[in-house]
Structure 1
Amino acid sequence: MNKSVHVMILYILSHLGLIFFMYPGNIISSTEQGHWLPILLGIIVHFTFLFVYLKGLSFFPKKDIITIYTEIGKGIALLFLIPIFIYFMMILLITVRAYAEIITIVFLSNTPLWAIMLLLLSISTYIASNGVEVIFRTGFLLSILFLPIILFIFFTSFQNVDWRYAIPFDTDFRFITKRPYLESFFAFSGGFLFLGFIQPYFSYSRKSILWAAAILIPFFIFSVYIPILTFGQATSATTFLPYVVVVDAININWLMFDRVTMFFLLSLLSFIMLYLSLVTWKTLRILRHYIPSIKPVNQVITLSVVVYFLCFLIPGWEDIEKLFWWNTFLRFYILIAVPLSIYFFGSRIKRKDKNETI
């Protein structure tokens, strides 16, 4: 069954939930001027490995990456699937804990962290436990409900921009070695892996995924530049969530609500919970492959409970940042090694089949 539109929507929503929160702050902190270059470099890396990944998956129709690696060899499967599993666990842990902290800071200061983390985990786990079809249907529903709100707020956030702040355009490549820039790749790395997990269930065209990635380009650019064009580089660099601060400053006289920040954050949080459900589902797929004897229901409950209690081991935001930084090295391994390996094994098998045919 061809689900190109649904895959496009899920690809866009999962990335939007990651772009507007921490990504702008990372890019702004990585350089003082010419922010277009770090953004452009990240987009090029994103498109390069996405194309390689899609091309590699095309060699294995109706097979997910678990089956691909397993058929090549158990050692190869362990070499790639175990790091992917650890990476997914780190994503769940960091995302739940970090976004619970953000929710507390921004608009639920009196709500305890344990309640917010429980809400994020319980909803995402429930969606994931019902399978990938439910995740796709949920994504389609959320796009109808919240994408118009996100787009409306995105365009109105240009309200106070001063285009002179974009000057100067010149920059250098010193940002490449800086920690904030390396951390910014979290917005590019983990979002496309689900394409290799859904192949046994749905088919999709590679062109539609590349179009979805192209649609995200303005959001990557202006999520960084709108805070800079509104407040300037010096002020933007001091804010915790630059784009959220810009949204909080939007003034629309004809709107009956004083602040649109609440609608913006709730929309993005719905995308984050969808992203968490997708990561949970992928993690459970790997678990079921290696531990088939445990019932799926017990695996779902155990996974969510383990993640929930591990979140309590992170005392504060400084520790979240440390964990985020430690995960950067694994993030680049996943970003680079998985697409290249899928392409390498696929092209090798194709050449072998061609030689046997001849």
Structure 2
Amino acid sequence: MMHRWVATMTAPIFFIAAHCSILFAAFTRSMLETTEYGHWEPVCLSMGIELFLLLLLLLGFRKAGNKDYADLFLPLGKWISAALIVPLAGFILLIPILALRYFAELMIIVFIARSPLHVILAVLCLLMFFGASIGPQGIMRASTLLTLINFPVLLFAVFACFQNAKFVRVYPLINPSMDFLSNSTFLITLFSICPFLLLGMLPPVCKVKIRPILISFILISLLHVVVLYIPIVIYDLNAAKIMNFPLMTSFDSVNITWTVFNRISLFYAVALLAFVMTLSSFSMWSSALLIRKIIPAWRETYIRICLSLIVFLISFIIPSWNDYIRVFAADTWFRLLIYAVIPTAVFLRGRSIAAQERKRVLSE
């Protein structure tokens, strides 16, 4: 019974961990820019978009059987499969590039202000490479363990912030104009929904059931709203919008003397490191596997080494935080294209496979 529960909950727990690595990083700063009040509205819309794409993806994989993206698309032919898999592998590789560069910046602020950026990035990329090398089963086990340990730590840090909160700052709650729809920043914030795409690499690794994923999605959605409003209720919107790290600054404002570390931001940074490394390792493994299945002659270990070097070099050549923000916004249309094409292709391919299977059964 316990083994069955663990097998069922592995994918939802990973889904939560993948979202936390982005949600507790750059999400808050980007979403604060979308509107002047009623910030729960763009959050709910982005969650609605993710829910639709998530259901489209999961229904397609349920019809297709125990397959990942490569196994699903390769039978379509060389050119069609490459047109789908190569951009997807590139998009998945963007996740560790942006995540590690963000966390390196955060480490300089919180932990090691005098350490060179390239040293921090080299250590993070090395950890990511070794994490990816243990394989998907090892990553899933590590994800489950680290999430069970660190998710309560993050929740503790979140609720500790409310001792400095003034909840009157959330008003007005409703924005009837919904002006965020005309703000291009809203499209940039949709990077936060990208973890749903990683579920497409899990069917051969562990069970991906729709109901547990949807239950975890409810928790993730609530957490998006809570995390977004923390800097607002502590600093007010105008002050929070000018901060590069509004969430970390909110955690840093809390001083609880009875804890081992009197800076709550240390709890936040340590927990975020676990989530970022889990997400980056799995993304690295996924990208390497997709490339190897397209080009079977290449060894997966060498692919991971090359991809780790690419992650390091691209992360390192982003010289400043302002440049990071520009890079973050530059791939918006590529990201939206991936969101539109991949779930649709998976759903249609799943329906096609299910129809072929029905015809085979009837013919027998």
Q: Classify the TM-score, shorter chain.
A: over 0.9
For 1:203, the equivalent position in structure 2 comes to 207
Q: List runs of 5+ in structure 1 lacking aligned partners.
A: none
Query: For residues 199-348 of structure 1, what are the structure 2 equivalents within 5 Å?
Result: 199-348=203-352
Q: Does 1:185 align with 2:190?
A: yes
Return closer, same or farther for 1:260/1:39 CA change in 2, 3 Å cut-off.
same
> Which residue identity does 2:214 align to in structure 1?
L
Does the CA-based 8 Å contact 1:19-1:187 persist in structure 2?
yes
> Which residue identity lines up with residue 179 of structure 1 in the other structure?
S
User: Residue 91 of structure 1: CA displacement?
Assistant: 2.3
2-side partners of 1:218 and 1:301: how far apart? 38
- 1:166 maps to amino acid: V
Structure 2 residue 73 is matched with structure 1 residue 78: no
Question: What residue in structure 1 maps to residue 129 of structure 2?
Answer: 125
Structure 1 range deviating more: 151-160 or 86-95:
86-95
Q: Where does 1:163-182 land on structure 2 (aligned, <5 Å)?
A: 163-171=167-175, 172-182=177-187
Write the deviation string for residues 137-175 of structure 1: whole angstroms up to 9, x where unpaired: 111221233222112112222212222111112312321
Give the number of the structure whose residues are more often helix, by fraction: 2
TM-score (normalised: structure 1): 0.94
- Which residue of 11, 14, 20 corresponds with 1:10? 14
Correspondent of 2:198 among 194, 199, 207: 194
1:56 maps to which of 56, 60, 63: 60
Aligned equivalent of 2:69, options 52, 65, 68: 65
- By how many angstroms is 1:184 displaced? 1.1
What's the CA shift string for 1:318-345, capped at 9, x where partnerless? Answer: 2222221111111112222111111122
Quick one: distance in 2 between partners of 1:185 and 1:277? Answer: 22
| Residues 90 and 327, structure 1, Cα contact 8 Å, conserved in 2 | no
Counterparts of 1:315 and 1:245 in 2: how far apart (Å)? 22
Classify the secondary structure of the residue corresponding to 2:258: coil
For residue 243 of structure 2, give the secondary structure of its aligned residue in structure 1. Answer: coil
Q: Distance in 2 between matches of 1:353 and 1:284?
A: 30
Counterpart residue type for residue 101 of structure 2: R
Q: Which runs of 5+ in 2 are unaligned?
A: none
> Which piece of structure 1 moves more, 271-280 or 196-205?
196-205
Q: Is the 8 A contact 1:183 1:325 kept in 2?
A: yes
1:90 matches 2:79: no
CA contact (8 A) 2:82 2:294 kept: no
Describe the superposition over 1:205-227 as per-residue Cα deviations: whole angstroms up to 9, x where unpaired. 11111111111112100111121
Aligned mates of 2:267, 2:275 — CA distance in 1: 13
2:108 and 2:115 in contact (8 A); partners too: yes
Secondary structure of 2:205's counterpart equals: coil
Query: Residue type of the partner of 1:210?
Result: L
Corresponding position: 1:138 with 2:150: no
> Aligned partners of 1:106, 1:32: CA distance in 2, in Å?
29
CA distance in structure 2 between the partners assigned to 1:95 and 1:108 by the alignment: 18
State, as a whole percentage, how many aligned pairs show the same letter: 26
